[in-house]
Structure 1
Amino acid sequence: MLRGFGAFLLVAATAAVFGPASSVFGPAQAAEPARVVGAYYPGGSVDRYPVERIPADKVTHLFYAFAQIRDGRCVAGEAADAHFAALAKLKREHPRLRTLISIGGWSAGGFSDAALTAKSRKRLVASCLALFFQRHRGSFDGIDIDWEYPVYGGPPELPARPQDRSNMTALVREFRRALDALGRERKQTYLVTAALPAGRMQSAGAYDPARSFELDALGKLLDFINLMTYDMGTTFSPVASFNAPLRAVESDPLAPELRRWNNVEGAVDYYLQQGVPASKLVLGVPFYGRGYRVTSDAGDGLYQPYSGTFPAGDYRDIKRKLLGDPQWRQHWDPVAQTPWLFHPKERAFVSYEDPKSIAIRARFARERDLLGVFTWELTADDEQGSLLEAMAGE
């Protein structure tokens, strides 16, 4: 996910063979919840937002972000031992909470090489199981894959190959095989999920997820897909636009064939057309804003050219710094079903979500019979947890 820049310093990989378990697995696993209320939790935020503060009574699935790949093996941050021990404690206190280790993030390399052959895939998967399910046994219930992106569309400096598309499927299949085998041994169910993108403007221009992923196959292999229905308005976009519009806005200057998919509803429809069942889709909602310095005040900044970015920050920052300042004019788009802010003097435009728009998206997920909702990311909420409350309450 494009917000994954904060991954912390990594240390050397563990051995790819199982050693002694570092903790005893807890009580019998609770039944899988019927609806997902998921949240990514960046390990780099632990000092400001400790694991103990995670609202495990509201979140059903927590994704720890991020582990990465080095020399073909899974590695974790230098403070990971303490974080993972805290997660295990949280899980013992909240047996219904499901925790997954998310591997990757924007700018994370290593996937293309690690997924290239059957041997390299087995090596990667074995190292992940050794680290997260043996050394840190009791901390995680599954693996979440966040490869941004196979084939094309990711950071231009990262390796990418045409065969990445099928190799992603093969990698998921290997994780599925290995975790299913481990689950049979331990009488435990392990999850394999992935964060996958919507159609939007990316580093290579107009981006089609089906060119990166075998979506139909992944819909069958994965327990569910975290559909990243955000980052639809970024610096890859030609004009200042919404981060996560619910529906296509006719005045959006994107070409109609791209505009059709470059919104929450369109992204869901696209995945359904590609063969992914609604019951495997979890809808993404952003707890952060996107800002631009526009070159015109027409339309209160919306769909205007821009000269650079404006540091909008997370919702907690927007609420504290911008929403109480009368110089920031507040607007609402009835089609996109989302708010935005405009500062005429600064010619600054900010797209963000608030409790009203988050609740609308959570309701949309229910109405479309999706599996649930998730957010990037938990620690971006305000002190009252207003966005999570809106997301979980619908």
Structure 2
Amino acid sequence: MLRNALAACAALLLVMTGTAAPATAGPRPVVGAYYGNWYSGSKPISAIPSDTPITHLFYAFATIENGKCVVNAPTAAKDFADILDLKRRKPSLKALISIGGWGAGGFSDAALTRESRQAFVASCVDLFFTRHAGVFDGVDVDWEFPVYGGPTEITDRPQDRHNMTLLVREFRRQLARGTLVTAALPTGRLQTDGPYDPARSFDLGALGRDLDLVMLMTYDMGTGFSPVATFNAPLREVPEDPLPAADRRWNNVAGAVDYYLRHGVPAHKLVLGTPFYGRGFQVRAEGPDHGLYQPYDSTFWVNGYDDVQRLRATPGWSEHWHPVARTPWLYNAAERKFVSFENPRSIGIRAEYAERRGLRGAFMWELGNDDARHSLLNALSRPFR
């Protein structure tokens, strides 16, 4: 939108003045989609249309066993064949294997020494780029998280922060020139160990130089680690949010982008994350604002936009919109249930924000959570077409 308009005006000015220089195309915008292999049976890759606006497809997840890359999904062989077919139908598409995810262990040990890093990366290269040559164009590292903040049963060490950088460099060393190396990095300021700072887990400046793309997980800001029912991905800081000001400042989409830019990650490598799922809270009382910022007894997951629309159509649920967070929520007064979710309006606002800030693009977690009409994907991709 803004980027395209500015480019068009500049081109027109050059033509009018007769000073047009040879055209130089900037990097193409990224419309990224994570695809969870648990959806293969109900929403297979083969169903993705050839004219999809997706530019980068991230296949999730490979994991680590005994220091080596593995894929345990029973549908992996079919999925890989479907990726190849989709790339034949859409030759510009890039496919990446995403390694890790929440609850995936083994990173700290695999990255611990030069020898362990070399062996681990070699196993990934052999599995995904030799035995399955042609399927993948890159590797996405999803270590949640080095040093602290991830699941308590996952091994972590203080040296993980530096070893993450070394691991990325080892992927770069062993992979063929032109192969993408990306990473999904966190923004939520509350994790298993309490208040969380991504810069304590990752050398953000170094990763900003070494990675091709930083997939910024600008969601999971309101979870079971939060003290009250709150938004999953508020666009901006809400003054009424009871988080301490030091955490609240960064625990929103705009704040997270600013934080990464401050730590040396260039805007043209940042890809803004959007959630295609909802998070629910069983609150203790409605409070003055339909469950928002109320204490809760338990949390629940809302799997995708189809589930959200079913709730909206069910008697007892009311929909609300926050003018600062720029996001909707649902509330059921009789059941005292609060649900934070995104719809095409809020997804479009976030995509437009990414385009306006000069970020590389936007992505979603997760493609299988969209409805059959691709309502959320269409809203996400619109500013980058």
- TM (normalized to structure 1)? 0.89
Match of 2:207 in 1: 218
CA contact (8 A) 1:205 1:236 kept: yes
Which of 17, 31, 54 aligns to 1:37? It is 31
Q: Deviations over 1:350-371 (max 9, x none)?
A: 0000000000000000110000
1 CA distance for matches of 2:168 and 2:70?
Answer: 18
- The answer to whether structure 1 residue 332 and structure 2 residue 330 are counterparts is no
Which of 51, 56, 65 aligns to 1:70? It is 65
2 CA distance for matches of 1:277 and 1:340?
Answer: 32
- Shift of the alpha carbon at 1:93? 1.6
- The answer to whether structure 1 residue 316 and structure 2 residue 306 are counterparts is yes
- The answer to whether structure 1 residue 354 and structure 2 residue 348 are counterparts is no
Q: Unaligned 5+ residue runs, structure 2?
A: 1-24
Letter in 2 for 1:306: Y
2 CA distance for matches of 1:315 and 1:247?
Answer: 22
Aligned-pair identity (%): 60
- Shift of the alpha carbon at 1:334? 0.2
Match of 2:17 in 1: none
Match of 1:51 in 2: 45
CA contact (8 A) 2:111 2:117 kept: yes
Letter in 2 for 1:325: T
1 CA distance for matches of 2:234 and 2:247?
Answer: 14
Change (3 A) 1:60 1:359: same
Q: Deviations over 1:21-73 (max 9, x none)?
A: xxxxxxxxxx9961000000011110001111124521000000000010000
Letter in 2 for 1:242: F
- Shift of the alpha carbon at 1:199? 4.1
Letter in 2 for 1:59: I
Match of 2:363 in 1: 374
CA contact (8 A) 2:235 2:350 kept: yes
- The answer to whether structure 1 residue 113 and structure 2 residue 103 are counterparts is no
Letter in 2 for 1:68: T
CA contact (8 A) 1:107 1:148 kept: yes
CA contact (8 A) 2:45 2:79 kept: yes
Match of 2:140 in 1: 144
- The answer to whether structure 1 residue 83 and structure 2 residue 79 are counterparts is yes
2 CA distance for matches of 1:278 and 1:169?
Answer: 19
User: Does the residue aligned with 1:300 lie in a helix, a strand or coil?
Assistant: coil
2 CA distance for matches of 1:150 and 1:55?
Answer: 37
- Shift of the alpha carbon at 1:310? 3.3
Match of 1:271 in 2: 260
1 CA distance for matches of 2:223 and 2:302?
Answer: 12
- Shift of the alpha carbon at 1:314? 1.3
CA contact (8 A) 2:40 2:75 kept: no
Match of 2:228 in 1: 239
User: Does the residue aligned with 2:335 lie in a helix, a strand or coil?
Assistant: coil
CA contact (8 A) 2:278 2:302 kept: yes
2 CA distance for matches of 1:315 and 1:201?
Answer: 25
User: Does the residue aligned with 2:302 lie in a helix, a strand or coil?
Assistant: coil
1 CA distance for matches of 2:49 and 2:294?
Answer: 39
Letter in 1 for 2:136: F
Match of 2:174 in 1: 178
CA contact (8 A) 1:105 1:147 kept: yes
User: Does the residue aligned with 2:78 lie in a helix, a strand or coil?
Assistant: helix
Aligned residues between the structures: 356
Letter in 2 for 1:332: W
1 CA distance for matches of 2:26 and 2:71?
Answer: 27
- Shift of the alpha carbon at 1:83? 1.2
1 CA distance for matches of 2:76 and 2:374?
Answer: 25
1 CA distance for matches of 2:85 and 2:284?
Answer: 51
1 CA distance for matches of 2:357 and 2:46?
Answer: 34
- The answer to whether structure 1 residue 122 and structure 2 residue 139 are counterparts is no
2 CA distance for matches of 1:348 and 1:275?
Answer: 40
Letter in 2 for 1:380: N
CA RMSD, Structure 1 to Structure 2 (Å): 1.2
- The answer to whether structure 1 residue 306 and structure 2 residue 302 are counterparts is no
CA contact (8 A) 1:199 1:258 kept: no
2 CA distance for matches of 1:316 and 1:121?
Answer: 41
Q: Deviations over 1:97-132 (max 9, x none)?
A: 000000000000010000000000000110001000
- Shift of the alpha carbon at 1:325? 2.1
2 CA distance for matches of 1:122 and 1:59?
Answer: 32
Query: Runs ≥4 in structure 1, deviation > 3 angstroms?
Result: none
2 CA distance for matches of 1:312 and 1:263?
Answer: 20
- Shift of the alpha carbon at 1:88? 1.1
1 CA distance for matches of 2:147 and 2:249?
Answer: 23
- TM (normalized to structure 2)? 0.91
Q: Unaligned 5+ residue runs, structure 1?
A: 1-30, 184-188
- Shift of the alpha carbon at 1:311? 3.6
- Shift of the alpha carbon at 1:330? 0.6
Q: Deviations over 1:121-177 (max 9, x none)?
A: 000110001000010001000000000000000000010000000000000000011
1 CA distance for matches of 2:359 and 2:264?
Answer: 14
Letter in 1 for 2:31: V
Match of 1:14 in 2: none
